[in-house]
Structure 1
Amino acid sequence: MILFEGRFMTTAVHGKPTILLVHGAWHGAWCWDRLVPELAAQGWHTLTVGLPSASAGSNETAGMYDDARAIRARLDEVDGPVTVLAHSYGGVPVTEAAASAPNVSRILYLAGFQLDEGDSLVSESGGQLPSGDTGTLPVPDNAAKALFNGIAAEEADRAVRRLVPQSIRSFSEPLTAAAWKTVSSRYIVCEHDEMLPPAYQESMGKRAHRLYRLPSGHSPFLSMATRLAELITEDADS
């Protein structure tokens, strides 16, 4: 990696775009710790971003637009093309942010919400705003099974302990743009997902230019990081 005037110059070194990893609800950038070295072994330079809406309750007013601004700020640090990998809820602010980011060359939705303009997670769930005692949604009671099935129990428990409350506002703010209409997109269906039904993923994946499948639960970046990195690279090389 070369730094030039505060910006990342990466493509000349690696021959591949930079890849920005965007986590889902309740998570943080820590969730990519296993995937990052696997991508590095495939020749990628990786960046991560922490979404303001997942902040252990310290910023319960942060919404999807705040997340989109954080993503866009990270994209603005990079000179050269960027591939964005968006997991689960992360697909929503990525869809918003990437629409106005000229350096995004590809979006990979990993069991992600590939929604259209005017959509939000609330509208996708029938218009009911999730309930919570504060402005945040607590970590799901069944997180180990729903989010981390297919992962060794001890590792799943460690991951659950790192989850934080998610702002309710992030689920209610609607998209004002849909980047996948102008940016090449791929959808990765997680076939054994117990959080986001695979059939629903398939329906969203029809909006993508190419669809892939992994025999994994909701979090293949933990359960099969090597195969996920290989798939990302295979798609780029194709």
Structure 2
Amino acid sequence: MTTIVLIPGAMHGAWVFEPLLAELSERGLTAVAVDLPSSSADTASIGSLTDDVDAIRAAVADIDGPVVLAAHSYGGVPARAAAGTIESVRGLVMIAAFALPVGASLLQAQGGEFPPSYERSADGRGVKIGDIAETIYSGVPQDVVERALPRVQWQSVESFTQPAPAEPGPDVTVTTVIATEDKALPADQQRQWAEASDAQVSVASGHSPHVSHPGVVADAIADTVRRVDAAS
């Protein structure tokens, strides 16, 4: 049986996938969501991109059988690295995610410096998006946004500046979910990265389609699982 591992974007934890987990469960799919060390309320102990890859590796190590990783936004960076280095990872779903080439950093992809709207922690080790409701949660119902905002944490500066260490090989089935109304990651950039994917799904969503359109994302993941199972 193929297991799905959900990987959150910057400043978020496993909690953000609650709507998607429910949809996957309805489809009879087995899924777990992980927290990444690079997102934390405590910047003194905040992790790096390397720590995130290690966290994904640890989660996958506890799973028997093939794995499909499904990653949102920044989570696509450690997910691609994990997919390129863990043999049991057979599929990858990129949900409005950064498909950086090896050697590039997330900060480079954003122009080399943090946008003016970003807030910096007192020790300089963490950042938060100041206009998160508008950029990350565009198109999400207001009551859902209000419940989510207090749970947003610091994201480590190091995770933005470390270069992407690896990428999936040709034996990993890749699906890209393109958010066509994304205000954080332009849809044109998503489409460009998606050209190397095995399948593409477009959804009229802002940057968080797993929250605003969890059924569409669940269908894309389910299709990827079917293709992985067929190839096994």
Instruction: Mark yes or no: TM-score above 0.5.
Output: yes
Q: 2:148 aligns with which of 150, 159, 165?
A: 159
Aligned counterparts, 1:126-141, within 5 A = 126-128=111-113, 132=120, 133-141=122-130
Q: Report sequence identity in percent.
A: 33
Structure 2 vs 1, CA of residues 234 and 61 (structure 1 numbering), >3 Å: closer, same or farther? closer
Residue 32 of structure 1 pairs with residue 17 of structure 2: yes
Which runs of structure 2 are paired with 1:1-238 in the superposition (5 Å)? Answer: 11=1, 17-128=2-113, 132=120, 133-237=122-226
User: 2:79 is paired with a residue of what secondary structure?
Assistant: helix
Deviations 1:51-100 (A, max 9, x none): 00101134455110000000011111111010100100000011112211
| In structure 1, C-alpha distance between the alignment counterparts of 2:123 and 2:30, rounded to whole Å | 38
Offset at 1:36? Answer: 0.7
Structure 1 vs Structure 2 CA RMSD: 1.8
> Structure 1 residues 59 and 94 mapped into 2: Cα distance closer, same or farther (>3 Å)?
farther
Helix, strand or coil for the counterpart of 2:216?
A: helix
2:40–2:46 contact (8 Å) kept in structure 1 = no
**Could you tell me the TM-score, scaled by structure 2's length?**
0.89
The 1:181–1:128 alpha-carbon spacing in structure 2 relative to 1, beyond 3 Å, is farther
Q: Which consecutive residues of structure 1, in runs of 5 or more, have no partner in the other structure?
A: 1-10, 12-16
Question: Which deviations, in whole Å up to 9, do the C-alpha atoms of 1:124-178 show, x marking residues without a partner?
Answer: 2233367834334443221111111111112112111110110000011112211
Amino acid at match of 1:20: V
In 2: Cα distance, 1:35 partner to 1:126 partner: 31
Contact 2:173 2:224 in 1 (8 A): no
Alpha-carbon distance between aligned partners in 2 of 1:205 and 1:233, rounded to the nearest angstrom: 18
Question: Using the alignment, how far apart are the partners of 2:82 and 2:155 within structure 1?
Answer: 19
Does structure 2 conserve the Cα–Cα contact (< 8 Å) formed by 1:111 and 1:196?
yes
Matched residue SS, 1:78: coil
1:119: how far off?
A: 1.2
Q: Which amino acid aligns with 1:231?
A: A
Counterpart code for 2:78:
P
TM-score (norm 1): 0.87
Partner of 1:6: none
Letter in 1 for 2:95: L
| Structure-2 change in CA distance of 1:59 and 1:205 (3 Å) | farther
Q: Report the AA paired with residue 147 of structure 1.
A: I
Cα pair distance change 1:93/1:59, threshold 3 Å: farther
Quote how far apart the aligned CAs of 1:217 are.
Answer: 1.1
CA contact (8 A) 2:12 2:39 kept: yes
Query: Using a 3 Å threshold, how does the CA distance of structure 1 residues 31 and 169 change in structure 2: closer, same or farther?
Result: same
Unaligned runs of 5+ in 2: 228-232
